[in-house]
Amino acid sequence: TVLWWNLFEDVEIRVVTPESPEIPADFPRELLNAASISVVSRLAVPVGAVSMLYYDNTFVRELPTGVYWFWKNGVEVTHRQVTVAKQLLSLPVQELLTSDKVTVRVTMALEYTVTQPRVYAESMTDGEEQLRLTAQLALRDYVGSMKLEELLEKRSDFSGYLLERLQQSECAKWCEFASAGIKDVIIPGDIREIMNTVLVAEKQAQASVITRREEVASTRSLLNTAKLMEENPTLMRLKELEYLERICDRVDSISVSGGADLLGQLSRLCRGRAE
């Protein structure tokens, strides 16, 4: 028997029969917050996640983001939370061997989204670990099939290769892959020095080829000029006067010693070719 005063305010009595473990959303929250943990239990699903709800290990439904309350009425209420927001998986440094027996250290990352949370919750004990293992094996096969130079040149092609491998794996049953790729390729110090030496030698060889090409072009230009002068005496005479002008610009005074007729030769040069 329950007694209460009704002199000052109305009293509402609600009889609740917990037929289902889940408490309706319209139930007064202040009562639930004050209730003992031996009577009710609380489940909060954060943003970017869903929770698989089970009664006595039997799937009931998928709970979106929110707060849920349950009666402790003898039914075992369990759940498994699954993140459905886009996630980034980064692999730690992997020491791998290329096809030309060079040990490199490689890091990679991939983005994925869980699209089948129930499949993920019921078929995987650790989906992220399986995803990591699949990516590691794909990375090892990719690096091991290439020489070091090929790996450095085609590192951007790894994205398509890895996505194709992931689509063929068990992981594709519960998630979608947005992107993947190699972040860093770390080369040992001695190999790096050798590659730098080779690069310097290649650049020097390229510079030598360019220099020889320019020398050939210059020689060809001189040959063409000589042919023009040979065929055109007037052009030859203009060239002589041009060089004579350059000589005179650099001469302050002329001292003549000996019996050589230098002044006569210069005079004849200015008038025309010496006979």
Interior/surface letters 190-223, b for 16+ CB within 10 angstroms, e for the rest: eeeeeeeeeeeeeeeeeeeeeeeeeeeeeeeeee
Kindly report the CATH number assigned to the domain that includes residue 113.
3.30.479.30
Domains: count for the chain: 2
For residue range 63-96, list pLDDT tens digits in order. Answer: 999 999 998 888 899 999 999 999 999 988 888 8
Q: Is 217 within the bounds of a domain?
A: no
Q: What is the pLDDT of residue 87?
A: 93
Q: Is 163 within the bounds of a domain?
A: yes
Residue that is last in its domain, among 187, 204, 224: 187
Full domain range(s) for residue 127: 87-187
H-helix or E-strand spanning residue 143: helix 127-144
In this structure, are residues 109 and 61 in contact, taking their beta carbons and an 8 Å threshold? Answer: no
Q: What is the pLDDT of residue 274?
A: 45
- Residue with the larger pLDDT of the pair 137 and 152: 137
Angstrom distances, CA of residue 92 to CA of 86, 183, 184, 221 = 20, 11, 11, 61
Angstrom distances, CA of residue 203 to CA of 107, 147, 151 = 30, 22, 21
Alpha-carbon dihedral sign for residues 270, 271, 273, 275: negative
